[in-house]
Amino acid sequence: MASKEDLYQQFVEKAQLVSAKVSSIANEDDALEYVINLCGEKEACQLLASGCEADLSDKAEALCDAKQKKVIAAPGLKADLYKKLSAQAKKAGFDCIESGMRDHLAGIDIGFTFAEYGIADTGTLMLDCPGEELRLATMVSEFHVCVLPKSKIKANSYAVEKMMLTRMKKTPDYLAFITGASRTADIERVLALGVHGPLELHILILED
Amino acid sequence: MQKAHNLKEYREELRETLDNDFLRTTLDNFAIAYRAGRANAFKDMDVRGLIKEIADSKDAAAQDAEALYQEFKKNAEAAGIHVHFAKDGDEANRIITKIAKDADCKKIVKSKSMTAEETLLNHDLEDAGLEVTETDLGEWIIQMRHEGPSHMVMPAIHLSRYQVGDLFSEVTGTKQDTDIDKLVKVARRELRQKYVEADMGITGANFAVAETGGIGLVTNEGNARLVSTLPRVHVALMGIDKLLPTLHDALRIIKVLPRNATGQQITSYVTWITGANECLAAEDGKKEIHYVVLDNGRSELIKDPLFSQVNRCVRCGACANVCPVYRLVGGHKMGHIYIGAIGLILTYFFHGKDKAKNLVQNCINCEACKDVCAGGIDLPRLIKEIHARIQDEDGHPLPSMLLGKVLKNRKLFHTLLRTAKWGQKPVAEKDGFIRHLPMIFSKEHSFRALPTIAETPFRDWWQKNRPVVENPKYRVALFSGCVQDFVYPEQMKAAVDVFAANDVAMEFPEQQSCCGLPVQMMGETKASRDVAAQNLRAFEPEAYDYIITLCASCAAHLKHNYPKLVMDKPSLKLRADAFAAKVIDYSSFVNDVLKVKAEGFTKSGEKATYHAPCHLCRGLDVHEAPRELIEKSGMEYVECAEEEVCCGFGGTFSMKFPELSAELLKKKLDNVESTGAGVLLTDCPGCIMQLRGGLKNRGSKVKVKHIAEAMASNRK
């Protein structure tokens, strides 16, 4: 049986192979600091950086124009943590939301979530998101930042099978394995990140 | 899509794609990168064991499909999902159109689904006045170009960035860059508004899990998550082949599917949907979800004792990735809607004989697809079987019927070969090649020189020269196959020399004839059975320790197909099993059984490279023995690029598709010549005929020999 440390090492190695950005954090406050810094550093709209100078059809253009301010979405966060994040975001000049994701379909800068489990042999995050807000936050965000408690890293998908079944049987359920950023190789097999979902996946591994 | 009415038109279409340089380069690069990527993704895993487990689990699911469907439906309905059954594509499309109308939907976003391609769903939805947008990047591109996918996993692999750039310029109404990263972002932004407006989302399903009544979706782009989240109605269309008893079965397939498809350890997203989940765009806050489970010939298929294994297909597309013919002509010509090896089979069952009849002939039988299949499906065998079925229904073409008749009568066949020796005199050169191709061959066969029939066949030589071996270590029977008997007897003589020197007593049963593979390849099942029975009667398996053949194709056919061919004749089946168990190829016998040593050979140090015959490396899983023998026989082995890729011979394939055969040969010979070796060794006379003929035509100095010849000439 692999030790906790081995699983952690394997998880990091595999996640980095698929271009996830992995960091270690000591506590939840570190995670908030990471999110705020990241939001501050990133381009106002990542889509701008990689395509806005190219003209779009009027409709697509209009949707892009709908977005004016940097947005951090953190649905499903514990109340006290959300309160802290919200305060810090406000101070930095960002919007912070935990619902109403459908009003932000042009894109959110950062989706901030907690993973239920990590799967070491593929560097995968397991997120259960029966609630629509959480699901959307992991999809329409340009950067997805996800906290994974170290103790929740399991060896492989078989090791999370029981947990998955428990959730699936308590329907309705919508569960996701997320491994790296959204990607495509549909044009000339050239890898491009961020086609429909996040352009970057940041994993913060929480010592616990 | 397959539109050709006959083989002539189909060959015309193939010729056009051969001229598409972009396609050829892309597919070449892909084929090479894929092999490395897959090997890396499966590193340290028991791939064979895993494939066996998947095959067993999918076979069990097929047996139980009806019960699984009932369980799946019960669990899904209990979780608030509507489940529909569609017997064919039209019914599925009608059901989905009605769902859209009943729910007052106008705009639809779709996530890639091969099943929806199969039923041509978009056409019916659009005819009903609905706006449909594909959201998978590749699918969106081909939708706007009004094309079908050319690869199961990479539907737009046939297009260049320039073509996509032009297309996107047209779509957005403004000039777009050809930078791929930017094109992807344009698609992201254009498609985002489509999700926003859509009231219905359509996906496929990679798994339908009976124990939960839920589905699993495997994607990289993440579009399936948006398609199944944003619109208020979600329809998932899936074949009954997607039914699995447990979540565990699905998790197991995920270990293989992405690795085999693209060399990824897992895709970016695997999404599990169970029950009518939350949807804030719906009035009651719950999504309206429908599962449409499609039969369309599948239940027929899983009842068939031979074809039920088709149900194991997980749609990874790997059979196309490794297919040398796909690599030349691309998916639009190597399939109808489903492409690659599995495509040739599914086309027959889902889209009918007319669409399949030309396609099924375009298999070179190299077995690369069988070797890579995630479900362990014997694809080449099924393709041949369909070819035979179509011929049985439509009538057999004259050449294959004649060949069948001739091969069934050994004496007539051998007399014809002996007569050909005289007939070729006026065109035969001293170097063993025919100077001008006879009239029956057209110009396109001139890519390789053809050999002459030998002066004395091996069987006549044997009568007078069989060696006497005192105190034999082994007693063996030789199986020559027709090419070595009548064209290249020197290869057999070389083997006899090495065997006699190693105390092997030999027999050459006189009544043996062609192994029957050529007629099997031409869909002449009856003749193939008769020839097998003849050969089985000619050999007394109990009398020998081994039955040795120097022809990889004969060896694989004798070993794997004979027991299947006589399955319905119990007494012959026992004999075939005993016979097959004793069949061994030359290299394995000499290297692994006789264990010859380098000391017995003169060290020439000559550089020799190797071509691995398909039926040796994949058919018999022999890899090391011939390479070790090259070194032992005193030569220096130089590895050749793509050593285990087909040389393009494929027996009758090269007669039927000379243009494709020529291209495969060209690639092979380019690789051979760039090794700098002076000798090319292999262990199949068919490959030798192809390679030697091609090199002769190029005026190359590289000599082609059977490994047996190299060993005999270097023996001390």
CB contact under 8 A, A157 and B161: no
Higher pLDDT, B547 or B174: B547
pLDDT of residue A42: 84
Q: Å from B343 to nearest chain A CA?
A: 20
Q: Which residues of A touch B161 (CB under 8 A)?
A: 187-188, 190
Which pLDDT band holds residue A43 (cuts at 50, 70, 90)? Answer: confident
Structure tokens at B12: 């015309």
> Mind listing the pLDDT tens digit for each residue in A147-174?
999 999 999 999 999 999 999 998 899 9
Best mutation target among A196, A199, A200, A203 (most B Cβ atoms within 10 Å) is A196
Q: What is the mean pLDDT of residues B665-685?
A: 97
The arithmetic mean of pLDDT across residues B476-503, rounded, is 97
Per residue in B52-96, pLDDT (tens digit) is 999 999 999 999 999 999 999 999 999 999 999 999 999 999 999
Q: Is the pLDDT of residue A55 over 80?
A: no
Tell me, what's the pLDDT at A49? 33
Q: Which of B251, B268, B274 sits opposite A161 (nearest CB)?
A: B251
Of B156, B159, B269, the CB nearest to A178: B269
- Whether residue A54 has pLDDT greater than 60: no
CB-CB contact of B685 with B487 (8 Å): yes
| Residue A54: closest C-alpha in chain B | B176
Sign of CA dihedral A28, A30, A31, A35: positive
- Which chain A residue shows the shortest CA-CA distance from B31? A189
Q: How far apart are CA B184 and CA B206, in angstroms?
A: 25
Sheet holding B207-209, edge to edge: A153-154, A117-119, A124-128, A173-178, B269-274, B214-219, B207-209, B243-244
Burial of A165 (0-12, 13-18, 19+ CB in 10 A): middle
What integer pLDDT is reported at residue B117 of this predicted model? 96
Q: Least CA distance to A53: which residue of chain B?
A: B182
Those of residues 7-46 in A touching chain B at CB distance below 8 A are: 14, 17-18
Contact B334, B340 (CB under 8 A): yes
| List of chain A residues whose C-beta atoms are within 8 Å of the C-beta of residue B80 | 171-172
Residues of A in contact with B154 (CB under 8 A): 185-186, 189
CA distances from residue B442 to B438, B446, B466, B577, B681 in whole angstroms, order as listed? 9, 8, 41, 42, 29
What's the CA gap between B573 and B331, in Å, rounded? Answer: 39
Q: Is the pTM of this model over 0.90?
A: yes
The complex's ipTM works out to 0.93
- Give the Cα separation of B420 and B424 in Å (integer): 6
Q: Is the dihedral of CA B620, B621, B627, B628 positive or negative?
A: negative
- How many Å apart are CA B459 and CA B493, to the nearest integer? 10
Please say if the pLDDT value at position A46 is more than 60. no
**Which tokens is B478 given?**
């030789």
- Among A56-60, B256-260, B382-386, whose mean pLDDT is lowest? A56-60
Q: State whether B164 and A187 contact (CB < 8 Å).
A: yes
Q: Does A111 touch chain B (CB under 8 A)?
A: no
Of A121, A164, A176, the CB nearest to B269: A176
Q: Kindly give the pairing relationship between strand B214-219 and strand B207-209.
A: antiparallel
Q: What is the pLDDT of residues B537-560, one digit of tens each?
A: 999 999 999 999 999 999 999 999
Contact B154 A189 (CB under 8 A): yes
Q: How far is CA B124 from the centre of its chain?
A: 33
On the question of pLDDT at B347 being above 50, the answer is yes
B275 contacts in chain A (CB < 8 Å): 171-173
Is the CB of A195 inside 8 Å of chain B's CB atoms? yes
**Contact call for B137 and A105, based on CB within 8 A:** no
Measure in Å the smallest separation between the Cα of A85 and chain B Cα atoms: 25
Query: Cα B117–B121–B125 angle (5° rounding)?
Result: 150
* Cβ neighbours of residue B443 closer than 8 Å, sequence gap 6 or more: none
- In tens, the pLDDT along B21-35 reads 999 999 999 999 999
At B420 the pLDDT is 83
Alpha carbon of B285: minimum distance to chain A alpha carbons (Å): 10
Name the nearest CA neighbour of B206 among B241, B169, B159, B161.
B241
Is B280–A132 a contact, with Cβ atoms under 8 angstroms apart? yes
pLDDT for the residue B226:
97
State whether A195 and B271 contact (CB < 8 Å): no
Query: What value does the mean pLDDT take over residues B451-466?
Result: 95
- CB < 8 Å to B280, chain A: 102, 132-133
Contacts of B284 (CB under 8 A, 6+ apart): none
Chain B residues within 8 A of A198 when measuring between CB atoms: 222
Name the residue among A123, A177, A184 with its Cβ closest to that of B270: A177
pLDDT of residue A51 exceeding 50, the answer is no
Q: Can you read off the two tokens belonging to residue B417?
A: 């070969």
CB contact under 8 A, B156 and A186: yes
What is the pLDDT, as a whole number, of residue B430? 80
The CA distance from B66 to the nearest CA of chain A, in Å, is: 22
Nearest to A63 among B159, B193, B221 (CB): B193
Is A100 within 8 Å of chain B by CB?
A: no
Q: How far apart are CA B224 and CA A178, in angstroms?
A: 13
From the CA of B703, how many Å to the nearest CA of chain A? 39
Between CA B269 and CA A176 the distance in angstroms is: 7
Residue A50 has pLDDT above 50, yes or no: no
User: What pLDDT, on the 0 to 100 scale, is given for residue B445?
Assistant: 81
Average pLDDT across chain A, whole number: 90
Of chain A, the end-to-end C-alpha distance in Å amounts to: 20
Domains and CATH numbers, chain B: 1-44+317-394 (no CATH), 61-299 (3.40.50.10420), 419-593 (no CATH), 598-714 (3.40.50.1860)
- Among B196, B248, B276, select the one facing A161 at the smallest CB separation: B248
B137 closest CB neighbour out of A56, A135, A195: A195
**Domains and their CATH numbers in chain A:** 1-45+111-208 (3.40.50.10420)
How many interchain CB pairs under 8 A, A with B?
225
Reported as a single tens digit per residue, the pLDDT across B199-246 is 999 999 999 999 999 999 999 999 999 999 999 999 999 999 999 999
Cα angle value B601/B607/B609 (rounded, 5°) = 100
The alpha-helical segments, DSSP class H, found in A18-152 are 28-41, 46-47, 58-65, 79-92, 132-137
Report angle CA B601, B481, B543 to the nearest 5 degrees. Answer: 80
